[in-house]
Every structure is written in structure tokens, then in C-alpha cells.
Amino acid sequence: MPLSRREFAAATGTALALTGTVGALATAPGAVAAPPERGGGHGYGPLLDDPAGLLALPAGFTYRVLTRSGVTRLESGEFTPERHDGTAAFPGPRGVVLLVNNHELKGPRGGWAHPVPLAEGLVYDPAAAGGCTVVEARRDGTTAEWVGIAGTSTNCAGGATAWGTWLTCEENSDRAGENGMTKDHGYVFEVDPYDRRANRDPKPIKAFGRFDHEAVVIDPRRGHAYLTEDDSSPNGLLYRWVPPEGFRHGRGRLRTLADDAGVLQAPRCFDAGGRFVDDLSRATRIGTVYGVDWVDVPDRDARTVAVREQFGDGDVTRGRKLEGMWWADGGAYVVSSYAREESPGAPHDGQVWFYDPKRRTLTLKVLLGVNAAPDEDGALDGPDNITVSPYGGLVIAEDGEGVQHLFGATDSGRTYPIARNDLNDSEFAGVVFSPDGRTLYANIQKPGLLLAVTGPWHRAPRR
């Protein structure tokens, strides 16, 4: 049922005053994010150069390298695969943390020095290089690593479930016969870090659609899945999957779904005046609120036409580089990495939205203005993977131009640095806290590093 203007006004209350019309939003003066903090206040102080040339951190913080592609080895003897990306952390026995780690490897296996090994029984398409590994991080500092799934393509952000599994997403939709693939790609797969037998004979969750998946979260109350798409020409979409009546989530249940189970939908947003919003780049003020209706996808498996191309210009609301997501505070935090000439609204270098399923609204929480000097340490651009901090606010992995950071964002949208990649200009990814909140894990995608950061974490002021 469409959300009426009266329902929208009741849901958003005084926040409507921040939105204005679409035309006004596109030209609003001073519409940039609050500047980053450079020490004190919201953050942990200035970043100190790393003598080892790897990771700059504030005073009192330290890091360890848990895995490194081509250096550390799996239990089977093969090297850790390359291109670390999305990661989730699960509690194990006796203080162990189980980290499920995506490897964003696209195309045939022969194109990579260290693809995900084709572990027996865990392979979807033997031609594909990607997949994910499970890393057991122990209290004594030692680790073990094994394959969770292999033979998938371009495993990017993904998402954890409330029942303790990992949903790994293929950001590539090659068909069988394209680029050397022997099976269709563009799907989501479930990986169980606790039960290796549950991962045998991988089965795609086709009900979630076939497109360039980035991330996924699941509403633990309603059972809806939300999925992002990183694509352009036209820009990608945020999707909602509504489960069939009577379906209950749980370990292993997603693989029992029929390929056409439930309904896959795309958003149609409108502003306070009831005007359709064609693209999220139209929003230029933190606090902008859009109402959201949902439109059914005609052909979720994209048999002849890509899913995002099945809608006309006035049918749905798009966004450029819809990337990481995280479920918290009763809704989904959603990242749009940047907008340029491919988007109809104002250019920006990153947005973080919050979707409230109860009110059916999208609210802009973080907005990064265009970074004029990405090679200089300071300004931020290109948010990607995201997590909600147990100490308040968000922690975001930067995948932009030039200098790369892990950075925090407060409830008011102010940002502050947490770490800087001193090794190279490769993106951060897979940012996630340990179950006890004491350790922040993150990846540097190239050459493929999984890092554990510890230090004097504290709760950020709510301002």
C-alpha cells in the first residue's frame, strides 16, 4: 500500500522542515558535511605515522596483521587468497572470534595469483576465482583459516544475519559462457562459520535476485531483506525482498526457498510535498527525509534485461554506487559512495542514509562534500563498508581517491579519522568490531590484509 502524504508527515514530524522541495535541495547553499575532526572532541586525536609504513593510528592504539595474501596460509596449505573485502565477526568458544572474509576476485581463476582454493564440496563454479574464507582469531594471537565457499565471483560487501551466518554477495552478473564462467552469477550465498558441513554444495539464493550485489541486511523483526546494487548507466537501486507468508528465517532456511519465493522490490521515494525523487543525489542537506514506497521487480533473475533497467525514469529512485549496509537502531544504514555527472542531482563524495521500516522513510545522516584534494590527508571521500560502533556513531571504510582512511561519524554527521593506510592507496574494507567491542577488524584490499586494531575506545559525545 502506498505511503500517503499524511502518513509521511506523521512519521517524520518536524524533520520535514529540513527537506524542502527537490528543486530547492538541488541548489541548497552550504550543503556539505560537517568537517572532519582533527583530534579531541569526537575522535581519538591525530593520526601518528607508522614506523612500519602500514597503518597510522591515534596515540595508544596498536594493530596486528592477522592474514596477508601470499604470505599466510590456510589449513590446507594454500596461501590466503587476495582482494580482502567485506567481513563479519562471530563469537566462538573460549574467546575465539570467527571472521568470515570475502575475496573480491572477478573473472577466471587464471587471472589471479591467489584465488580462493577449490575446496572439495564447497565450489559453486570451478571457473570463478572468488569466494570467502573463515579466519579463527584466538586469544593467544594465533589464527587458523579455511575456505567457506569457492567458485563465486567478485564477493564484495555482504552482510551478517541474526542467526549467526554470513551472506556473501556477488558484485558481478556474468552469465554461463561469459568471461569463462560455467554458471550464472550475480547471486547471494549463505556461509555458516560454525558448521563446515552446512556450506557443502553451495546454492545461490535466487529469490534475492540476480544483479551486481553489494551488501545485504535482514530485518530481524519483519524478515525483509534489503540489498544494495553498485552499478551505473542507469544508476543502481536499493532493493527490498519480502518473504513469502509463513516463512521463518533461521540457519539453513534460505537455501530452501524457491527461486521465485517472496517479492523483490525497488524504492520509489518522494519529498515532503509529495514530489517524486528520481535519485538520492538530489539530497544536499543532512536531515533530508524522503518517504518510500516499494515497486515490484518484474523479472528478478534478469533473463533478458538487467533488473535495474526494467524500470522507466519515473518509476524508481536510484543512487550511484550503493555500497555497504548495516542493520542497527531498528533500521538499515545505507551508503552511496559518490555522485558525479552520471547522477542528476548535486555532486558529492559520499552519503549515509538510514531507512526506517516502521516509518518507511529514508533520512540522510552523513554527507561528504566533494573532496578537492584527495591526495592530502584530511578530507574524506568514497565511503564503502560500514558498521555501527558499540561506542556510538558509525565507523566507515574509505574507498575513494588518494589517501585512504577508516573514519568515524557521530550522530550529527561530524566525521573524524581512526586510521590511515600508510602502505599504499588501496581501499579499506570489511570494517567490523569484535563481539566484545574491544577490537576493530578491517581489511586493506590490496595486497590483501586483515588487520586487528585495539586501543582506548570510548563512547563518543552525542553531538
pLDDT tens column, 361-411: 999 999 999 999 999 998 899 999 999 999 999 999 999 999 999 999 998
Whether residue 327 has pLDDT greater than 50: yes
The three cell numbers locating residue 89: 565477526
CATH 2.120.10 correct for 5-89+173-185+202-454:
yes
Total number of residues shown for the chain: 463
- Identify the residue with better confidence: 462 or 219: 219
Judge whether 118 and 126 are in contact, CB under 8 Å: yes
Judge whether 296 and 263 are in contact, CB under 8 Å: yes
| Confidence (pLDDT) at 39 | 43
First to last CA, the chain: 36
- Identify the residue with better confidence: 10 or 396: 396
Which pLDDT band, with edges at 50, 70 and 90, does 145 fall under? very high
| Confidence (pLDDT) at 8 | 54
| Confidence (pLDDT) at 379 | 87
pLDDT digit string, tens, across residues 199-235: 999 999 999 999 999 999 999 999 999 999 999 999 9
- Per-domain boundaries in the chain: 5-89+173-185+202-454
pLDDT digit string, tens, across residues 66-76: 999 999 999 99
The three cell numbers locating residue 319: 543512487
